[in-house]
Structure 1
């Protein structure tokens, strides 16, 4: 009898245990703490009824049938509770049951970063190791968090529907709490595209604006309306892949201050299919002009988000203040948010296995074009706001860029600088780190990638005395060296794949362009820099021993070889012609500063070239201030006349020779005891300018001559500014000549004056002070107004200079011009100069190194750039803070 009682008790105990099968599943599926408590209560009641209750008619049914019925009833009740309870209410209840060290009682998030670091150190794991394995660290969620997806949509009806359906299709129902669609003034309203039943099935909640307010505001309003634990911002034209949510959730579960960016692939808007190709894009880095560029690296960390696709906990969103409420439209919000996160205690990572296909806007595909507009100037102002808040002392660097110089002290908009007190409040409250910490944290980009360069310099060929210049876009040419040309300023860049340090290429300073050439025979040009060094076409190094620019080998292309070379640009021919011939210029002088023999009209130097004479831009040695090599001539008294000797171009000196008055040559100098009249010249006025005359033999009366072009006017173009050691090239040295009233002036170079031509054209012609077409006025906003037409000088986007309707507030950078004492009239997006006598460009290419021996490259006029100087100052001012950014 006793044995039977024991058997009955065991059976009852086993049956009671089966009533508790559902609560663990509810916890695993993340139905929340209130639902878990309700399910446990039901299980306890059922166990009590089985143990202590009286036998009823129901007891006669098999226990398995009763158990199934119990599960169904329990599941139904729990489902109703789960649907009715909000996450906020659930969190409040949870806080009374779960209190552990490092856990805040008022939240379901753990928030001790120091504890997280100690735990990681003890375990010997990185954050991503814990995240990928599903473990929870201090700072993370203790249960399955609810996801709110925020979709900002403006007139994207078709794409909105497809995106919402894709999100629901590829996100588990237990994880997806809601899809918050922010209808930013769409016509018709997006809500009308879905039935009420469809909206419910797709878990859509709506935020509607009657008019377009801009992407930043739309995302902010969507985040404010979101009630989930994790907010995932997506564009309104994306398609997530299967399992996209889990890596994101895993990362944020282990650290609520971690922001996650998925791997972004391509989406075909017609087929709505993903084209994955490589591993997808996710990482951007910050440039000095407060912009961002895509790049790759070997870790998961993201310096700057592109801004469209990201996930973060609602708690961290609230703590960091969300988006800057004073930004307008679109642009710059990703810069501000990324710097907030990194400098204020958070981090941004890429969930490599989370793929989201994104439709890119392409001009060639009208279907993809945006159906909204951004307020004029909003992007520039937004970017400046972000930099003003976070760049600290590096704001001075930003203000060297033309589009931001208006905000600098003395600039047109200095008094209108934006109010950033809302961001500064967050910065103070969260005790955020200085910007230098960010540069040090991402030293792989900024130091190994070359964005904080040791030196900036010209790349000069010693044989031609010319420099490598990026001439707009990606074109690279050999041009006269000029300290005024931004296209000639280079610095080492890109990681060397062998040493993993800088540098493997040359970057045009303050741009994203690096020198590149594929192989021998290819033309040298530029492309977007690969800071990680993965583009083999950009592996170009200066060999200090041979002075050659070599196509450098690397870890992935060890056999790569070749050198940079090309053809020297031909100068203007100098010939021997009848003196006083009006078709030729014949006045030369010895420049008192440089020692060169120069054409008085255009200022170029007499140059020895392959046995003849040419005019080419003067090349002045930076140390001596004098010309040298092919442009250095020694004037020797010779029988009461002058012998012109070139002593630095070979083992023996060469002399100007008239070949008996038939042609002008460079020929071996005769012994002075042999009185050869062919090398005897009369140089009438070396100081003020005069003719160099051959006066011997039957062909006397011949002079050094440069052919005049028979033109009454010449067109004006935009070219790189050329000035070396204070000497400006002919065609660019416009001098401001005030007229009688002092208000208007002419702009002249020699006898040529800048003026209006026809309706909106521009040219130089013979100066006429009475011609209103040649009279100009310089406005307070640095605009040049032509008196006759009333139109303004306009750079035309850097493509062609013209006269155009004036923008009187200085907002159009194409109409902002700088005039200086050197004569430059410089402006436009590329800061180029007006030029009516442009120098012929010489292309460069990759050739066999044996054929490039005549090219001797050197670093010319190096200097430490502002960004580097500021970093050195930061190292002195707060070294400990910078050191804290170092990671293994």
Structure 2
């Protein structure tokens, strides 16, 4: 049996939804009919709640909301929050047709757009989403997208297990289509499933927990009509997960760090120089939701379906589009509010999936800069032990599309990204005197490196460069972020100082280090060593002193690098 079932709404009978939902789906007006069937009972279950339960006061759900609720209602609200990652209890009690503020720049509000714009298919992806949140997303799309531009809405249910999504949807014949996966495929493959069902010239791929602002569609469709190789992201605002209030976000481009986690960026200088805050913003990457010409999306290779669950696919798509002749833009005139969940629906820990996906991107698209991804994740570049799957088809796609190099992308599209081509070794740094302890950046505010039990996470990442610097802690992703911290000899004490500052002040930041040998400051000639200490919980502390021959080792060396 195919893992995908397409439900043709033309053949659906009557739904079991309440009357207001049915009338909403066929676009009859309604006003006060907003109650929905609730999946969580209001009746307390025996033993589930005790007056003064500490979990209530500890939950972030109740920090700004819900103080007036009864204990039983708080229990239900908390249970829904733990399930959905947002306040499903409140969502079920909000209007499906609520107004949201128009946060577009003033220059967007009197623009005239062509009358012959292409139609759009809007695809909503969900798994275990609150029904009221899905309906509000769809309702918002229908009422804030011009009727003649909205070809259809496609709902992709990635094998939800909460039961309330397994009822048929009623709609105008053929207007709302439902795709249900018989097994969970993950967000990446779910988006491709939705694209395969779409029939409009343009496809918008969104999460099913968004609300559209007025006038969002026309600027997006205009830019794609002008150039079909543009992929467009709206400007996002936040729907607070606890209160469902709309929080305005500043206009931003979208980028990523070297672990390939997506992030917001300052718009490029070229955008600021235009002095026009309604102008499109050139963007190195995509946060996640985007709009694309349906056929161009196929030509460029869709999403990488060899990736798992989600994370990294938005970076891969944007890098591929830029390197292969297209472009990515964020439009200030198209604003969409999006719920940022307190926790994700697919898995409690996305890290392993994002890491695997990031390595696929690195191996296919990043050329010599793939080392930066391995460094950021603190993984050996050779024999990483992570199965990233078959990437031969993606490499063939790159060759067929005759794409540019990743260096071209960094220089021309993402010049804010820091390059670390001078790194020769990375990982955790251990002294043979006590191999269960690692060099650690310690508390951020102290700038004093410490010894701590080895765990291999970001505070213990160390990078040794060909210029003999030792960077400790996270790799600073862009020039707009705080600089990397360098190990410096300050009055015979080890300290962590921003590398650019230490360089400008000609501080003692250069270290002679060979694998399995000492770490000696080039200027002071003192060595970084361990000394016994009764005051330290692990029995040792770091010191700079006359060299006694203590030996240090770092986990990974880069191919071609030497220590």
TM-score of the two chains, using structure 2 as the length reference: 0.59
- Deviation, structure 1 residue 478: 3.3
CA distance in 2 between partners of 1:377 and 1:480 (Å): 28
CA distance in 1 between partners of 2:502 and 2:552 (Å): 34
CA distance in 2 between partners of 1:332 and 1:717 (Å): 42
- Deviation, structure 1 residue 338: 1.2
Q: How does 1:116-135 map to 2 (within 5 A)?
A: none
CA distance in 2 between partners of 1:494 and 1:707 (Å): 36
Partner of 1:293: 263
CA distance in 2 between partners of 1:442 and 1:236 (Å): 30
Partner of 1:253: 225
Partner of 1:323: 303
CA distance in 1 between partners of 2:545 and 2:303 (Å): 46
Asked whether the equivalents of residues 493 and 507 of structure 1 are also in contact (C-alpha less than 8 Å), the reply is yes
Partner of 1:486: 462
Deviation per CA, 1:720-771: give whole Å up to 9, x if none.
899997944xxxxxxxxxxxxxxxxxxxxxxxxxxxxxxxxxxxxxxxxxxx
Q: How does 1:276-675 map to 2 (within 5 A)?
A: 276=248, 278-285=249-256, 287-298=257-268, 299=271, 300-307=281-288, 309-362=289-342, 370=345, 377-401=352-376, 403-405=378-380, 408-413=381-386, 416=387, 418-442=389-413, 444-446=415-417, 450-451=418-419, 471-472=441-442, 474-479=444-449, 486=462, 489=471, 506-508=483-485, 541=501, 544=504, 621-622=521-522, 625=525
CA distance in 2 between partners of 1:396 and 1:708 (Å): 38
CA distance in 2 between partners of 1:724 and 1:381 (Å): 44
CA distance in 1 between partners of 2:483 and 2:334 (Å): 35
CA distance in 2 between partners of 1:268 and 1:439 (Å): 34
Structure 2 residue 135 is matched with structure 1 residue 155: no
Asked whether the equivalents of residues 476 and 482 of structure 2 are also in contact (C-alpha less than 8 Å), the reply is yes
- Deviation, structure 1 residue 489: 1.4
Aligned counterpart for 2:538 among listed residues 708, 716, 719: 716
Asked whether the equivalents of residues 149 and 178 of structure 1 are also in contact (C-alpha less than 8 Å), the reply is yes
Partner of 1:166: 140
Structure 2 residue 165 is matched with structure 1 residue 179: no
Asked whether the equivalents of residues 324 and 401 of structure 2 are also in contact (C-alpha less than 8 Å), the reply is yes
CA, structure 1 residues 506+171, in 2 after alignment: closer, same or farther (shift >3 Å)? same
- Deviation, structure 1 residue 404: 3.2
| Secondary structure of 2:404 counterpart | coil
| Secondary structure of 2:184 counterpart | coil
CA, structure 1 residues 412+455, in 2 after alignment: closer, same or farther (shift >3 Å)? closer
Asked whether the equivalents of residues 344 and 431 of structure 1 are also in contact (C-alpha less than 8 Å), the reply is yes
| Secondary structure of 1:234 counterpart | strand
CA, structure 1 residues 718+230, in 2 after alignment: closer, same or farther (shift >3 Å)? farther
CA, structure 1 residues 306+172, in 2 after alignment: closer, same or farther (shift >3 Å)? same
- Deviation, structure 1 residue 541: 4.2
| Secondary structure of 1:200 counterpart | coil
CA distance in 2 between partners of 1:219 and 1:707 (Å): 57
Partner of 1:693: none
CA distance in 2 between partners of 1:337 and 1:471 (Å): 34
- Deviation, structure 1 residue 251: 1.1
CA distance in 2 between partners of 1:373 and 1:485 (Å): 24
| Secondary structure of 2:483 counterpart | strand
- Deviation, structure 1 residue 328: 1.5
Deviation per CA, 1:784-838: give whole Å up to 9, x if none.
xxxxxxxxxxxxxxxxxxxxxxxxxxxxxxxxxxxxxx266x88xxx9xxxxxxx
Q: How does 1:758-777 map to 2 (within 5 A)?
A: none
- Deviation, structure 1 residue 217: 1.2
CA distance in 1 between partners of 2:543 and 2:305 (Å): 42
- Deviation, structure 1 residue 279: 2.7
CA, structure 1 residues 480+431, in 2 after alignment: closer, same or farther (shift >3 Å)? same
Partner of 2:116: 143
Gaps of 5+ in 1: 1-128, 137-141, 364-368, 458-468, 496-501, 510-523, 527-537, 550-617, 628-705, 729-821, 832-864, 870-888
Deviation per CA, 1:398-437: give whole Å up to 9, x if none.
33345532xx334445xx5531112122112211111111
CA distance in 2 between partners of 1:186 and 1:503 (Å): 40
CA distance in 1 between partners of 2:374 and 2:122 (Å): 37
TM-score of the two chains, using structure 1 as the length reference: 0.39
Relative contact order: is structure 1 or structure 2 higher (C-alpha 8 Å, sep ≥ 6)? Answer: 2
| Secondary structure of 1:266 counterpart | strand
Asked whether the equivalents of residues 183 and 207 of structure 1 are also in contact (C-alpha less than 8 Å), the reply is yes
- Deviation, structure 1 residue 716: 3.5
| Secondary structure of 2:155 counterpart | strand
Structure 2 residue 239 is matched with structure 1 residue 267: yes
CA distance in 1 between partners of 2:483 and 2:186 (Å): 39
CA distance in 1 between partners of 2:503 and 2:523 (Å): 23
| Secondary structure of 1:232 counterpart | strand
Deviation per CA, 1:620-641: give whole Å up to 9, x if none.
55268578xxxxxxxxxxxxxx
Deviation per CA, 1:150-207: give whole Å up to 9, x if none.
11110112211111111111111111111110011123556556752xx329932111
Asked whether the equivalents of residues 308 and 357 of structure 2 are also in contact (C-alpha less than 8 Å), the reply is yes
Gaps of 5+ in 2: 1-106, 272-280, 426-438, 452-459, 464-469, 487-494, 510-517
CA distance in 2 between partners of 1:183 and 1:336 (Å): 24
| Secondary structure of 1:211 counterpart | coil
CA distance in 1 between partners of 2:505 and 2:496 (Å): 25
- Deviation, structure 1 residue 545: 7.0
Partner of 2:17: none
Structure 2 residue 41 is matched with structure 1 residue 219: no
CA distance in 1 between partners of 2:180 and 2:113 (Å): 39
